[in-house]
């Protein structure tokens, strides 16, 4: 009888331990995915940022958008909307669509950000107004900017690994933006100024 009870206790212990291990594995797996996805879709909090130089404060023309890659790999559209002379002339928004992760681009002629994968449309402040992101009420959350001694600076998450040699910087040329999500180059190769080849 005592052996039966001991055997039952052992089996129940092994079963519970297996379930706990499976749960920990699932939580770990989904947790890692969420962290990776979150780094591209949601800018860091003010406690977890570093200020990086982007360009001179008048380095972007009104109506123009440049692409910037942060030190942790996220890509950001920095768009100039006015010429008052301060950081508020600009808006910095993630280029990764919150729907399924394609690359969002500024369209000066339409005064909107556009995601070609499923016709997602965002207004100049980053609010989704059409397509799947609009239906889901999603936003492109803003990165903080400021102007210091005539230089435009952006607050971005630090490199993912402490020994990484990633500095971030403006994306030059017509290389297609890489990032999470399917077919980020669907609409061709984005160029400085928001036009697409
Ligand atoms: S990935 Fe942008 S609208 Fe679907």
pLDDT in tens, 158-170: 887 765 566 778 8
Closest atom of ligand 1 to CA, residue 131: 3
pLDDT at residue 107 above 70? yes
Does residue 82 share a domain with residue 146? Answer: yes
pLDDT tens track for 118-158: 999 999 999 999 999 999 999 999 999 999 999 999 999 98
Q: Among 112, 110, 115, 107, which residue's Cα sits nearest to residue 41? A: 115
Among 102, 116, 122, 183, which is best to mutate for testing ligand 1, by the most ligand atoms less than 8 A from CB? 102
Does residue 53 share a domain with residue 35? Answer: no
Does residue 51 share a domain with residue 23? Answer: no
Does residue 73 share a domain with residue 161? Answer: yes
Closest atom of ligand 1 to CA, residue 133: 3
pLDDT at residue 197 above 50? no
Task: Give the residue, 126 or 7, on which the prediction is more confident.
Answer: 126
User: How many domains does the chain divide into?
Assistant: 2
Structural domain boundaries enclosing 24 = 1-41
Q: Which backbone phi and psi does 32 adopt, to 5 degrees?
A: -65, -45
């Amino acid at each position: 009888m005592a052996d039966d009870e001991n055997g039952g206790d052992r089996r129940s212990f092994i079963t519970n331990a297996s379930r706990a291990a499976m749960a920990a594995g699932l939580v770990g797996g989904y947790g890692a995915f969420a962290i990776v996805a979150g780094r591209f879709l949601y800018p860091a909090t003010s406690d977890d940022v570093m200020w990086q130089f982007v360009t001179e404060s008048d380095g972007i023309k009104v109506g123009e958008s440049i692409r910037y890659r942060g030190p942790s790999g996220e890509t950001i559209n920095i768009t100039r909307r006015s010429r008052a002379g301060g950081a508020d002339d600009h808006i910095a928004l993630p280029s990764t669509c919150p729907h399924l992760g394609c690359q969002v681009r500024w369209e000066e002629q339409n005064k909107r950000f556009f995601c070609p994968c499923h016709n997602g449309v965002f207004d100049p402040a980053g609010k989704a107004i059409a397509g799947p992101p609009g239906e889901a009420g999603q936003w492109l959350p803003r990165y903080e900017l400021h102007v210091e001694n005539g230089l435009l600076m952006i607050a971005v998450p630090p490199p993912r690994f402490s020994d990484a040699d990633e500095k971030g910087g403006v994306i030059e040329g017509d290389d297609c933006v890489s990032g999470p999500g399917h077919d980020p180059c669907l609409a061709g190769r984005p160029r400085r100024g928001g036009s697409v080849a």
